[in-house]
Chain A
Amino acid sequence: MTPTTIADAGRRLRSGEVTSVELLDSALAVAARTEAQLHAFLTIDRDQARETADRADADLAAGKDRGPLHGIPIALKDNMTTRGLETTAASQILSGYVPPYNATVVDRLAEGGAVLVGKTNLDEFAMGSSTENSAYGTSYNPWDITRVPGGSSGGSAAAVAAGSALGALGSDTGGSIRQPASLCGVVGMKPTYGTVSRYGLIAFASSLDQIGPLTRTIEDSALVLSTVWGHDPLDATSYPGELPDIMSGFGRGVDGMKIGVVKELSGEGYEPQVESAVSAMVENLAASGAEIVEVSLPSFDIALSAYYLIAPAEASANLARFDGIRYGHRAAGDTTESLMSRTRAEGFGPEVVRRILLGTYALSAGYYDAFYGQAQRVRAAIQEDFARAYGQVDALVSPTSPTVAFAAGARTDDPLAMYLSDICTIPSNLSGHPAISVPIGLDDQGLPIGFQVMASALAEDVMFQVAEEVERLAGFDKTPSLAEVAS
């Protein structure tokens, strides 16, 4: 049987039981069997992947070991630039766009010997919570192909859950890694803002965007993170200091730790089965020796509103560059102005247009202070609430998503309902703190439930320590039926 985790695959590659080419072939075989139903990928570059896998095998045979991702098939969300390989951010406006340069994370994956399987689907420009906003078609959930995989990193989450990659990178602006991880039953992690370079990540909201891993296990999450993070001189917001030793807490459990349950992230709108699974896990953590306290962070109630002003405001400027002049889709126009405005009207999907308009409005003269200015004050209040909480506890926990995977089409006509999908994840983006979603079980429909662990800035070690105990306590080892059929 082929390995299902990066750690296991790494051990077996080094013992000679499998080759990188075999791992790739297995991933591609899963993709071949599942893609018609899942549509997790926008681009698969078999030849390039095969070449990289061959080189990985040759290097390892020659004693050249590039680290934990050496020879491992990895998928990449299609909003990170890849030199020579089409990168669209799932938008019509970037149809056919082939970047001349690699994102820093892509270079780091390559230096680490990873094998890029392909580019995964997402909500256009990472704006959405279901991957239904992709200009190239919806992705579906491997646990139930009538349901969404979450979003915006839905393609990455579906690929890892199905086994068409052993790990993936996603980007998380308001929960876009953690929420799809939760809905697809995999581990999804957003690191501290600034620890992973954004250079080459097609910006949605620059002060919130952060790249992170989607994997099967906590250990794999740490292995991917350790390969891609670290200071990058090409990103002026990159953190230049020392990073925590993320594996240091593995196996140490939570005995003596103080864990806070966020009061505001429960109640109305939360599915009972999600709440009971989360409560059961909290009790298990207590049984493992953690001291559990309920913590109130009142500003969380207005975090969603602040987010939907800040993120669109930044997006309205970030997406201004897509004008048809230098690259991507270009509409015909008699004048430069008409060329630009027609290009944008044709190229952007409705959700992107909605957010650009919202953001433009929020920054307009006369409205700035009431909207954007006020949202920044809320953001400061959230940071203060977090600081106060982390003065009392080591980590905070909550559901990752109020619900399990919902039916495709169920929320497409109701943007507000869709926006509520990210209510538990958004605060950590506004504060810049690390947070992770760990699968803890299935509901009675067989759909995964995710448990979120949040920690203070640069406290990834603490976050992983708690998450690893959650993983052990949950003992979640199920794979979606689609993957079972495949293997």
Chain B
Amino acid sequence: MNWEPVIGIEVHVELMTESKMFCGCAVEFGAEPNTNICPTCLGLPGALPVPNRKAIESIMAIGLALNCEVMPRSVFHRKNYFYADLPKNYQISQFDVPVCVNGYLDIEVDGDTRRVSLERAHMEEDTGKSTHIGEGGRIHSATSTLLDFNRSGVPLVEIVSRPDIYSAAEARAYASGLRAVVAELGVSDARLEEGSIRFDANISIRPRGDETLGTKVEIKNMNSFRSLERAVDYEIQRQIEVVESGGEVVMETRHWDEESGVTRSMRTKEGSSDYRYFMDPDLAPMAMSPQWIDEVRATLPELPGDRLQRYIEGGLEPALAGVLSGSNKEMRDLHDSAVAEGADTREAANWVTGEVTSWARRHGSEDSEIPLTGADLAGLLRLIGEGTVSSSAAKEVLDGVLGGEGSPAEVARSRDLIQITDTSVLESAVDDVLAHNPKAVADYSSGEHKIVGFLVGQVMAATQGKADPRAVNELIRSRLDGS
């Protein structure tokens, strides 16, 4: 039988607002346990939540960037369940009126673009963190559990796709595309390894051509895009094997084990849990006015997909456009401003993604400011184009500019890298070399045309590399052919 996998992905994004979702405590990764806490995020008797406006604006920005509709009115609900690291034993979340609904994200897999549709993005608060002490660090074998409430109440955005993803590669492309958008917005660290962005996948299979969905399994604990792809792949194969050997897929949550490369059953879900959602009476419904939505929209940066499109339309081939688009903002801005100063987009992109990037790497300043303006880069490219410096000398010029020695023209002059453009000087140097190498001249006459390379090298040496090798080559050939 031919099976079709159907995948939906839930993404949790931890926002990096200054303060938590419902209190004034700092949001800080890696602080001493239980230092960023207060009556509200500890669930002390009598304490109340007050929503963080900045967090609401962040989810609005995420929703707008993912082509969602921002609801004019949205409501917080209580999701009731008991857990030691959930201080109130209910989580403030959203139920039937989330902030954002109905969006999409375009992804590219094997050169084809696909549109993955999104159901919703809603706002909620994070829980505290449990650390189980004892054998294996698992809850069942633990002798005690330590609780850290620093994370309790940190704003979380949950983004839920529709079951509209059909392969492990698509799942990976969706996840990385979504991460890129969130990172671009600057609303989250979006680091998988720190858990500030987390992906869970719901996977089912069905005979290709069927419309109904099969029984879904939720998989968790994927800490990289690669492990997400592997886990999804594994789970699809596992389900196919289960069904083809006459079994049935059980609705459950499975844990991805990175080392052994398998998913393991965590708990079986018998029907859906009853969280007894009801509107949180401590929080009035939120009103998102069209004016507020427009204000947030106006703050949106250029998104990765739009940027790639712009570079391609500007004349870059897709591969180079992709490399540039994926570079950091410093590098992209350098390219953009060099082009604004009159540089050719391809040349600028090549230099930015090549020499400039490798300089930044060598100097360990990949994310910090590069001491090079767009005008400098455009000036350097102009020197090359006019033949004032050779391409190889240009790398030295760049090094000098980055080293703070001055503008490209100044560095070319002070480092004595300007090409000889005076024909009479070149001609006399060529004639001198030809006169001193009669054997080479004779070899050329007898058909050994490769010898020109040797002669060009001699001229370059005689001019300390300041001659334009192309011009020297032409001059030698015309002298030898004409004589």
Contact = CB atoms under 8 A, between A and B. Distances in A.
A binds B: yes
Interface in B267-302: 274, 276-278, 281-284
Interface in A310-343: 313-314, 316-317, 320-323, 325-327, 336-337, 340
Nearest to A319: B89
A233 B50 contact: yes
A317 B48 contact: no
Contact of B87 (A94, A201, A326, A364): A326
Interface in B54-93: 78, 80, 82, 84, 87-90
A320 B284 contact: no
Contacts of A201: 46
A372 B278 contact: yes
B433 interface: no
A100 B40 CA distance: 12
Contacts, number: 103
A364 B274 contact: yes
A171 to B, nearest CB: 11
Contact of B276 (A198, A234, A322, A360): A360
Contacts of B283: 236-237
Contact of A320 (B80, B147, B277): B80
Interface in A215-245: 233-237
Contact of A234 (B48, B90, B277, B278): B48
Contact of A364 (B45, B90, B276, B284): B276
B276 A80 contact: no
A459 interface: no
Q: Is the interface of B mostly helix, strand, loop or mixed?
A: loop
Q: Is the interface of A mostly helix, strand, loop or mixed?
A: loop
A207 interface: yes
B51 A236 contact: yes
Contact of B39 (A100, A313, A322): A100
| Residue among A201, A202, A236 facing the most chain B CB atoms (10 A cut-off) | A236
Contacts of A261: none
Contact of A99 (B43, B44, B278, B284): B44
A360 to B, nearest CB: 7
B78 A317 contact: yes
A414 B410 CA distance: 98
B227 interface: no
A80 B82 contact: no
A202 B46 contact: yes
Nearest to B90: A317
B42 to A, nearest CB: 6
B145 interface: yes
A202 B45 contact: yes
B84 A237 contact: no
B49 interface: yes
A contact residues, range: 35 or more
A206 B39 contact: no
B47 interface: yes
Given A317-B90, A320-B80, A236 B45 contact: no
A99 B44 CA distance: 8
Contacts of A234: 48, 50
B134 to A, nearest CB: 12
B91 to A, nearest CB: 11
Interface string B381-424: 00000000000000000000000000000000000000000000
B473 to A, nearest CB: 78
A236 B49 contact: yes
A235 B48 CA distance: 6
A80 B282 CA distance: 17
A81 B46 contact: yes
Given A317-B278, A364-B274, A325 B48 contact: no
A43 to B, nearest CB: 15
Given A236-B49, A323-B82, A336-B84, 13 more contacts: A94-B45, A203-B282, A206-B281, A234-B50, A317-B89, A320-B90, A321-B87, A323-B89, A326-B42, A327-B45, A363-B80, A363-B278, A364-B274
List 7 A-B pairs, minimum CB-CB distance, nearest first: A320-B89, A207-B281, A206-B281, A363-B276, A200-B46, A202-B45, A321-B43
13 contacts: A81-B45, A99-B46, A199-B46, A199-B48, A207-B281, A236-B50, A236-B284, A314-B278, A317-B90, A321-B45, A321-B89, A322-B45, A336-B84
